[in-house]
A and B are shown apart, each in its own frame.
Chain A
Amino acid sequence: MENLKSKKLIGYYGFPRPSVLGPVRERFGYNLELVDLDVALEAPDSRIVQNTTCRIIANIIDNAIEYSKRLVAVVADVGEGKCDRGRYAALILREMGFNVIESRFPPEEFENRPLVYSTGRGSLADRIDSIMETVIRPYDSVVSARNCKPTHGFWGVPPSDFRILDIFPDTTHIYGWTRCVEAGRPGDLQLEYFVDEDVPTVFFTQSFCAKQDMAHYLAEKHDGLFVDCHRRVNDSILSKVEAFIKLA
Chain B
Amino acid sequence: MIQTEKKLKLADCGSTWTKILDVESDSLEIITTRELVGRDLPPFDIATGHSAKKRCAKFKNELLALAEGALSLVDEEDFSIVDVGGRDIKFIRFKGRKVKKIDWNLACGATTGATIELLTDYYGIDPHLLKPVDTWINVTCGVFGMERVLESVSKGESPEKSVAEFIHGLVRNVFDFTQRPSEIYLSGGFCCNRCFIDSMARYSKVIPLGRTVLIEGLRGETAQLK
Contacts and interface: CB of A to CB of B under 8 A. Distances in A.
Q: Real complex partners, A and B?
A: yes
A226 B103 contact: yes
A242 B108 contact: no
> Chain A contact residues: over half helix, strand or loop, or mixed?
helix
Contact of A246 (B53, B61, B104, B106): B61
B207 interface: no
A235 B103 CA distance: 16
Q: Which 7 A-B pairs have the closest CB atoms?
A: A243-B63, A240-B104, A247-B99, A223-B101, A236-B106, A243-B61, A239-B61
B100 A246 contact: no
Main secondary structure of the interface of B (DSSP, over half): mixed
A248 B88 CA distance: 20
Query: Which of the four size classes fits the interface of chain A?
Result: 10 to 19
B102 A248 contact: yes
A123 interface: no
Nearest to A220: B179
Given A239-B62, A243-B62, A243-B64, A230 B106 contact: no
Contacts of B179: 220
A239 B67 CA distance: 14
A207 interface: yes
A189 interface: no
B31 interface: no
A199 to B, nearest CB: 14
Interface string A208-248: 00000000000010010110101000011101101110111
Interface of A: 207, 220, 223, 225-226, 228, 230, 235-237, 239-240, 242-244, 246-248
Contacts, number: 44
Given A239-B61, A243-B63, A248-B99, 15 more contacts: A207-B107, A220-B179, A225-B102, A225-B103, A230-B107, A236-B50, A236-B104, A236-B107, A237-B106, A239-B104, A240-B106, A242-B61, A243-B61, A244-B63, A247-B67
Interface residues of B, number: 19
Contacts of B64: 243, 246-247
Contacts of A244: 63, 102
B63 A239 contact: yes
A236 B88 CA distance: 10
Nearest to A230: B107
A52 B64 CA distance: 32
